[in-house]
């Protein structure tokens, strides 16, 4: 936990901005896996963590902008809890540790329904079934309509508050980066022919648990990198293939890291792999040099797409004018996703608020074109934003086949040449970036990325 003044200041800031009404901040509860007492790893809600800091299940926060009071609802532990789970401070003491004076037993939340009906209420769209049911009960709004009735005003305020990271938050992200570095270095050293993907994935997830609160998202580790979010780890590594690892850790306070590296099994790239790898590396490095306050990430995404298109043109896989190719979305055959996203308490920071509200604003709107439409974050950068930089090139046989059949962008794509790459897989390279006053800083020690650096590890 941070010092309690930080949480008090955040809640006061929120209260000032929201002006009037009652803000409901449900914490998360334990969630059963296969029977009630066998639960998933507990993960507190990030908005609750941001405003109330307490990392335990079964709490609910209310910030009352009218009265100026904050209340935490929760139950003190029973003798049975002490016997099985050990002792823990009272809800009153926990609340005091984050500067909240008022506490009430959890059941009192249901008695507050009348009070809620007389006031403007604000809540973020709930994403867990348990909290949907809870909000339905206390607000009287049907669970399926809760998203519709969530507060746009609260979403805007929270995005504004959480987008720029403060010093303490950046220090936490750097801890997660340090663990992420160890995970990736270990994966690189283990990537030898005959090793099971699962063995490496399990080992690096252990490092994430040893270094903090586990992984920040399900690990992607595969020699079938043409599938962007491939969570299968059932193959044995083969010489000549590329292994993609997209994995990150959470610090103990739940701040995230998120890195991707792609390495040749056994350590040596073929020339064909190296040619594609160097294009992705150039796109990644170019992105880092372009990041600075005032630039839009949408324009940087498109610049990275141009680096990719011009590299592929040099190899004969694309043709025609590079700007025109990118304007027409031809690069998306190879780079069908966005350049990156915000990162903080969530690996896709604040994605539960609605991606469009986090990544776009009144000035920068999403582009509705295959590929660029997947860009999660496009708006103007500001100092202390933390974003990911993750360009990639993939050869997705089904997509290539469809585009060729439908003649999609065939003025810019040399399909006969692309066919030599159907068994290539994919390459993605991802760093985590802090926007500084004048440019960008790569967070953490940069994980080995040049072909030479990678070769030395094996
Ligand atoms: Mn990412």
> Residue 24 C-alpha to ligand 1 middle, in angstroms?
30
Q: Could you identify the residue written with the tokens 């509705």?
A: 368
Of 240, 254, 195, 251, the closest CA to residue 221 belongs to 195
> Residue 200 C-alpha to ligand 1 middle, in angstroms?
20
302 to each of 43, 307, 388, 392, how far by Cα in Å? 35, 9, 15, 13
> Residue 388 C-alpha to ligand 1 middle, in angstroms?
6
> Residue 375 C-alpha to ligand 1 middle, in angstroms?
11
pLDDT value at position 227?
86
CA R_g for the chain: 24
> Residue 349 C-alpha to ligand 1 middle, in angstroms?
10
> Residue 341 C-alpha to ligand 1 middle, in angstroms?
7
Ranges for all domains in the chain classified under CATH 3.90.230.10? 167-455
Ranges for all domains in the chain classified under CATH 3.40.350.10? 4-163
Question: Residues near 77 by Cβ (< 8 Å), separated by ≥ 6?
Answer: 85, 87, 88
> Residue 77 C-alpha to ligand 1 middle, in angstroms?
39
Q: What's the number of CA atoms in the CB half-sphere (13 Å) around residue 119?
A: 22
Classified as helix, coil or strand, 380 is strand
Is domain 4-163 annotated with CATH 3.40.50.1100? no
Maximum CA extent, the chain: 74
> Residue 429 C-alpha to ligand 1 middle, in angstroms?
10
Strands 431-435 and 386-389: antiparallel
> Residue 360 C-alpha to ligand 1 middle, in angstroms?
17
Secondary element (H or E) of residue 23 = strand 22-26
Asked if residues 352 and 359 have their Cβ atoms less than 8 Å apart, the reply is no
What are 260's strand-pairing partners? 246, 430
> Residue 188 C-alpha to ligand 1 middle, in angstroms?
19
> Residue 10 C-alpha to ligand 1 middle, in angstroms?
27
Of 214, 206, 220, 205, the closest CA to residue 254 belongs to 214
Classified as helix, coil or strand, 366 is coil
pLDDT value at position 226?
87
> Residue 390 C-alpha to ligand 1 middle, in angstroms?
7
Q: b/e string for 438-456 if b means 16 or more Cβ within 10 A? A: eebeebbeebbbebeebee
Q: At what angle do helices 167-190 and 197-211 cross, to 10 degrees?
A: 150
Q: Which CATH number among 3.90.230.10, 3.40.50.920, 3.40.50.720, 3.40.50.300 corresponds to the domain 167-455?
A: 3.90.230.10
Classified as helix, coil or strand, 170 is helix
Q: How far is CA 362 from the centre of its chain?
A: 23
Asked if residues 224 and 265 have their Cβ atoms less than 8 Å apart, the reply is no
Classified as helix, coil or strand, 290 is helix
The order of strands in the sheet holding 220-222 is: 220-222, 242-247, 259-264
pLDDT value at position 42?
96
Q: What is the DSSP letter of 237?
A: P
pLDDT value at position 194?
97
Q: Flag whether the pTM goes above 0.85.
A: yes
> Residue 138 C-alpha to ligand 1 middle, in angstroms?
36
> Residue 117 C-alpha to ligand 1 middle, in angstroms?
41
> Residue 430 C-alpha to ligand 1 middle, in angstroms?
7
Of 156, 326, 349, 129, the closest CA to residue 250 belongs to 349
The order of strands in the sheet holding 386-389 is: 386-389, 431-435, 440-442
> Residue 153 C-alpha to ligand 1 middle, in angstroms?
27
> From CA 293, how far away is CA 170, in angstroms rounded?
17
- String of DSSP letters for 307-350: HHHHHHHHTTSB-S-HHHHHHTTGGGGT--S-S--B-SSSSSTT
Rounded to 5 degrees, φ, ψ at 350 are 65, 20
pLDDT under 50: residue ranges of the chain: none
Asked if residues 262 and 428 have their Cβ atoms less than 8 Å apart, the reply is yes
């Amino acid at each position: 936990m941070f010092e309690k003044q930080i949480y008090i200041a955040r809640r006061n800031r929120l209260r000032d901005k929201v002006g009037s009404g009652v803000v409901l901040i449900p914490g998360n509860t334990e969630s059963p896996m296969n029977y009630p007492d066998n639960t998933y790893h507990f993960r507190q809600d990030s908005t609750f963590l941001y405003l109330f800091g307490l990392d335990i299940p079964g709490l609910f926060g209310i910030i009352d902008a009218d009265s100026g009071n904050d209340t935490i609802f929760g139950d003190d532990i029973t003798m049975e809890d002490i016997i099985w789970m050990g002792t823990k401070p009272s809800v009153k003491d926990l609340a005091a540790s984050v500067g909240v004076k008022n506490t009430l037993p959890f059941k009192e939340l249901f008695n507050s329904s009348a009070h809620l009906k007389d006031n403007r209420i604000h809540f973020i769209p709930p994403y867990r079934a348990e909290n949907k049911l809870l909000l339905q009960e206390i607000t009287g709004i049907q669970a399926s309509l809760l998203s519709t009735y969530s507060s746009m005003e609260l979403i805007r305020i929270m995005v504004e508050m959480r987008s720029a990271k403060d010093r303490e938050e950046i220090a936490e992200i750097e801890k997660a980066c340090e663990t992420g570095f160890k995970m990736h270095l270990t994966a690189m050293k283990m990537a030898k022919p005959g090793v099971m993907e699962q063995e490496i994935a399990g080992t690096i997830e252990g490092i994430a648990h040893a270094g903090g609160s586990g992984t920040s998202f399900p690990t992607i580790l595969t020699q079938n990198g043409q599938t962007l979010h491939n969570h299968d780890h059932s193959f044995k590594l083969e010489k000549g293939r590329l292994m993609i690892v997209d994995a990150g850790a959470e610090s103990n306070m739940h701040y995230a890291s998120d890195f991707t590296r792609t390495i040749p099994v056994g350590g040596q790239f073929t020339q064909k792999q190296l040619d594609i790898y160097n294009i992705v590396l150039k796109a990644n490095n170019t992105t880092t040099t372009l990041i600075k306050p005032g630039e839009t990430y949408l324009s940087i995404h498109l610049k990275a797409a141009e680096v990719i298109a011009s590299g592929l043109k040099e190899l004969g896989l694309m043709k025609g004018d590079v700007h025109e190719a990118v304007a027409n979305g031809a690069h998306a055959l190879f780079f069908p996703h966005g350049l990156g996203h915000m990162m903080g308490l969530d690996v896709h920071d604040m994605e539960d608020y609605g991606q469009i509200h986090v990544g776009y604003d009144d000035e920068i709107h999403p582009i509705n074109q295959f590929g660029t439409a997947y860009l999660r974050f496009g708006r103007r950068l500001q100092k202390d934003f933390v974003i990911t930089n993750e360009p990639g090139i993939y050869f997705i046989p089904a997509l290539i086949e469809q585009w060729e059949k439908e003649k999609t962008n065939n003025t810019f794509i040399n399909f006969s040449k692309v066919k030599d790459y159907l068994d290539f897989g994919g390459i993605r390279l991802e760093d985590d970036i802090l926007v500084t006053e004048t440019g960008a800083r790569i967070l953490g020690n940069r994980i080995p990325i040049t072909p030479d650096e990678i070769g030395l590890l094996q």
